[in-house]
Structure 1
Amino acid sequence: MPQYIIDAHTHIFPRKIAAKAASSIGEFYSLDMQFDGMTHELLEEGDRCGVALFLVCSVATKAEQVSSINDFVASKVNLHPDRLIGLGALHPEMEDPYAEIERIIALGLRGIKLHSDFQCFDINDERMMPVYRRLAERGLPVLFHTGDARYDYSRPEKLARVARAVPELTCIGAHFGGYQRWEEAAQTLCLPNVYVDCSSSLFALGREEALALIDRFGPDKIFFGTDFPMWDCAAELDRLYALRLPQETLDKIFWQNFCRLFSVPVSRLEDYYRAHPQPR
């Protein structure tokens, strides 16, 4: 068992649209969603499974949604500052991304989430390169959805181009760097400024495939993530435990890497587990 657990890839939605948003995502991927994506569901899952901290985000599929999404995510982080760290939204068609980046920082959000398959732009679109440079200057990591055999927008090699062009930008390639394009991810994304998470991958990968990806990227560059509301947290934990990784590797994936990148003090995790003792 890990000492602590952080879920580094979750999505939350306002109550009035949560069920519809989750259903739309399920239809997009032809997968059954386990939850509606409301914050209270996420926190209840955390208490049930012993997850102390969540990285939360929501994707803007239209430019006009950006401001309200960032306000919503920030409001939930402010309500649950001990449990949530938030990422902001941007969109390639918005008029002034630089002003929104400053507002994201003022809201207390800690990075950006982009989903180029939903937002219909190439990760390495020239319009985004100056935005990536500004994000790097302002110290904001970017969590990129990567991979999907149906689309080319989010190919791992396109993220690799960005990572090489803006080496100061901290990039996180979701889904082991490329959902359904894991071989391409392994060949292109082993770069100094690229991390990956294991969300929405272990259900589809065999044990040897998953171990090969962990070995390729290295245990210091991987985060645990459930892709809530898509997957049940307990099932995702079981999938990772089933790989029979060394304790040292588990601790890096579950919490140490995240704490290092996002400057989370260990005392923050200790406070949660002190209040919520976990069976060992």
Structure 2
Amino acid sequence: MSGKSFLETYIMRIDIHTHAWLSHGAKRAVQALSRGFGLQCEASGVLDDLVNEERKADMDRACVLCCAARGEHVHAVNRFAISLLAKDSLLLPFGTVHPELPSWEEELDFLASAGIGGIKLHPDYQGFRLDDKAMFPLYEAMSGRFCLLVHVGSRQKQGGCKTLFSTPRQLERIAGSFPSLHIIGAHMGGWCMWDDVEEIFAHGCPENLWFDTSNTSFHADSSRLGRLLRILPCDRLVFGSDWPFFRVEGELARLQAVGLSGRQMDDLTRNGERLLKLYYPCLGQ
């Protein structure tokens, strides 16, 4: 008999955007998230609860995004990320770096040697502009070694804030400047800046740029969400729940309510495997 086996052809369902902690630290972390975004988290933030919810929603993997506010915290955060590899086969952790950390090159080596192929950056939380030239050596060093998932967008634009750390325009600029770096723009390319997303990406975007759906369906009305789903490249759009802000099945239901077909929903949850297999050896096993 010829042909590939079921396991060789099966494409994993992946939630590419979650946050979780061990039980003793989850309550404080969730409270900080809720205060920081002015949005009450729906879930506990406890790692075991995430695993249970993802399995209930028939997800095969959940990317747990780890980030450090300051350079001095990076190594501890990355040790936690690496520890998740041994906790449950469903978990796919992302590590982090920070421009304030002098030894960031060593940190990338540390992550790569442990089998971690994704980096999470949150310019607003970490305190740097996405297009700051100080970040360019880090982007260059990540290119071809890691995929980068980056928070994009802010409500601060509505308040006239002069410092915008991450915008859709900055995202487009960085993706164009580093074509070998696979970038996932979180929140459909710009949280609460979807006017800019529509304007900038209406006529296409760099081939190395992907987008996740996290923390969008709750804020954007159905017409806005429908336009974003049409504008952004369907083969590079991936499902992200942003758990614990939102429950996994609730996020899936909100997206489906826009009118996506079963096939389109299936693509959203399975597109991510094609990218992540390039950087996570464990997905090819």
TM, length-normalised to structure 2: 0.87
Q: Distance in 2 between matches of 1:172 and 1:185?
A: 14
1:171-198 per-position Cα deviation (integer Å, ceiling 9, x unaligned): 1000000000012123335221111111
Aligned-residue offset at 1:246: 2.6
Where 2:189 maps in the other structure, the secondary structure is: coil
Which residue of 2 is the match for residue 149 of structure 1? 155
Structure 1: segments with no counterpart, 5+ residues: 270-280
State the AA in 2 paired with 1:149: R
> RMSD over aligned Cα, in angstroms?
1.9
- The correspondence of residues 241-280 of structure 1 with structure 2, limited to 5 A, is 241-255=256-270, 257-263=271-277
Q: Distance in 1 between matches of 2:66 and 2:34?
A: 15
Q: 1:64 to 1:14 in 2, by over 3 A?
A: farther
Q: Distance in 2 between matches of 1:9 and 1:202?
A: 14
Q: Distance in 2 between matches of 1:61 and 1:12?
A: 16
Aligned-residue offset at 1:4: 6.1
State the AA in 1 paired with 2:152: T
1:25 equivalenced with 2:17 (yes/no): no
Q: Distance in 2 between matches of 1:53 and 1:137?
A: 22
Shifted more, 13-22 versus 150-159: the winner is 13-22
Which of 183, 190, 204 is the matching residue for 1:171? Answer: 183
State the AA in 2 paired with 1:12: A
Q: Percent identity?
A: 30
Q: Distance in 2 between matches of 1:34 and 1:117?
A: 23
Aligned-residue offset at 1:247: 2.9
Shifted more, 23-32 versus 205-214: the winner is 205-214
Would the aligned equivalents of 2:84 and 2:92 in 1 still touch at CA under 8 Å?
A: no
Which residue of 2 is the match for residue 275 of structure 1? none
Which residue of 1 is the match for residue 215 of structure 2? 200
State the AA in 1 paired with 2:41: M
- The correspondence of residues 28-39 of structure 1 with structure 2, limited to 5 A, is 28-39=36-47
1:32-68 per-position Cα deviation (integer Å, ceiling 9, x unaligned): 1122322101011112222221011121011111111
Q: 1:65 to 1:14 in 2, by over 3 A?
A: farther
Kindly report structure 1 stretches of 4+ aligned residues shifted beyond 6 Å: none
Q: Distance in 1 between matches of 2:66 and 2:42?
A: 17
TM, length-normalised to structure 1: 0.88
Which residue of 1 is the match for residue 105 of structure 2? 98
State the AA in 1 paired with 2:251: E
Which of 188, 204, 209 is the matching residue for 2:224? Answer: 209
Q: How many residues align?
A: 262
Where 2:176 maps in the other structure, the secondary structure is: helix
Structure 2: segments with no counterpart, 5+ residues: 1-10, 157-162
1:133 equivalenced with 2:140 (yes/no): yes
